[in-house]
Amino acid sequence: MASEYQSSNASDPYKHLNVTLNPDGTLTRHISFPSSTAEPQLTTDSQLTLSKDIPLNPTTATFLRLYRPVSPPTQKLPIIIYFHPGGFVVVSATTGPMHLICSEISAQTPALVINVEYRLGPEHRLPAAYDDGVDTIRWVRDQALGTGLDAPEEWLTEFADFSRVYLMGSSAGGNLIFNAGLRVLDLDLDPVKIMGLIIDQAFFGGIERTEAELRLVNDYILPLTASDLLWSLALPLGADRDHEYCNPLADRHVSYKEKIGRLPKSLIRVNGEDPMADRQKAFANMLESHGVHVTRKFYDEGNHCVEMFDPKKAQIFYNDVKNFSPAEPQLTTDSQVTLFKDIPLNPTTTFLRLYRPVSPPTQKLSIIIYFHPGGFVFVSATSTPIHHTCSHLSAHSPAIVISVEYRLASEHRLAAAYDDGVEAISWVRDQALVTGIDNPDEWLTELADFSKVYVMGASAEEI
């Protein structure tokens, strides 16, 4: 890396961002994208979602745009709280591409999507946006509890599964959900369960330049001069780019590092032609080194936030989100033989994928607790071959199959996996006793014979 940046060809960053700095320190944002209005009613036959705006904090003028499928399935839907890109300075929840992305994700996952209009710099410098993120998560919790509300939001009351909430953000939004996610770790969010973070091309920086930043110094989407300007407008006055809001990898930030390992599983998306690609990959490694379960989606091609401009790249994004935050299982083909769903085991480290036959017999089913192969180092409960194995096992036994996502080495050396196995078996016992459980799993309550439990493993997991 190099510590200095020089380029005679660097563009005017204000012109590139289409903004003007006013004498009073505020910013005039000249519209680059058209805005989209909410669509609370069905207006066309091709419309996939309904949407509406509701206030979040009247004092700060923040609001939420909610999305739901036009024809939601009968089961409750996960909630995806989305934070838009824009370097904490530009773009809005109402910006056309953001509206389209949220609408597509709501329809395709399917899910209830909450698109957050958070405050921007320089008028509201960080951590204002992080505070708005925390406000949003608290609002969802209050909706789940039904407390302190003049009128509960009917879409959430009718359609939402508050035990499956995901935080999702692109660019600045990815940075935001990392920081807001840390802030809510010590809050009582029950019954809300944050199941994962979807961190898409996170906006990070630093004083020392990375190889990707130098190679893509004049990137046509986000040249380095524009990135630097965004940080100067977003960070607290007097802060440099090694401030913890900008550079979570800087050695001087120790105040929150002990909390990182408590974050839920995280999807990290990186495009190879993004100037911040090196930082995003290092960030994924940092999360994993603290014990966070990380799913990496690294693509060789694609500029920063390319899904805003390229429909094919956008569809890849939608697929990644759907696979990471699946809706409660539904029958999608006539040949489908099982339903499955993910539920937390230890919310900070592990989860379970449950399988049941589409048409279970009248008698109770045995339970098979399955531990995947991989030498305690590779593979996941979500890996396609493992998924197919468990699905067929559930259908043809027939049985309730519980596939365990346990911790792997070298980040978590043995006996961590053994401990996760014991925890999975203890969880089944607690389901049978219905002790210490707020919401017993309905599949086990309805279908399981707890007197017939088998523990099954392949390869290393037979040990």
Active site residues: 171, 274, 304
Which residue is associated with the tokens 């040249």? 223
- DSSP class of 380: -
Alpha-carbon distance values, 170 to 29, 115, 191, 358 (Å): 20, 12, 26, 36
Which residue is associated with the tokens 């509890």? 145
Of 251, 165, 144, the residue nearest 207 (C-alpha): 251
Of 82, 86, 118, 88, the residue nearest 100 (C-alpha): 82
Cα(115)–Cα(309) distance, integer angstroms: 19
Alpha-carbon distance values, 395 to 336, 340, 357, 361, 366 (Å): 10, 11, 5, 11, 12
Q: Tell me the three state secondary structure of residue 73.
A: coil
The strand pair at 62-69 and 294-299 is best described as: unpaired
- DSSP class of 329: P
Contact 411, 261 (CB under 8 A): no
Which residue is associated with the tokens 């893509």? 216
Contact 244, 250 (CB under 8 A): yes
Cα(432)–Cα(450) distance, integer angstroms: 6
Cα(358)–Cα(379) distance, integer angstroms: 26
Which residue is associated with the tokens 């024809």? 71
The strand pair at 265-271 and 194-200 is best described as: parallel
Helix (H) or strand (E) holding 20: strand 19-21
Q: Which tokens go with 156?
A: 């959430």
Question: Cβ–Cβ contacts within 10 Å for residue 39, how many?
Answer: 17
Which residue is associated with the tokens 């944050």? 194
Question: Secondary structure of 350-373 in the HEC alphabet?
Answer: EEEEEEEECCCCCCCEEEEEEECC
CA 432 centroid distance within chain: 31
Q: What is the DSSP string of 424-462?
A: HHHHHHHHHHT-S-SS--HHHHHHEEEEEEEEEE-GGGG
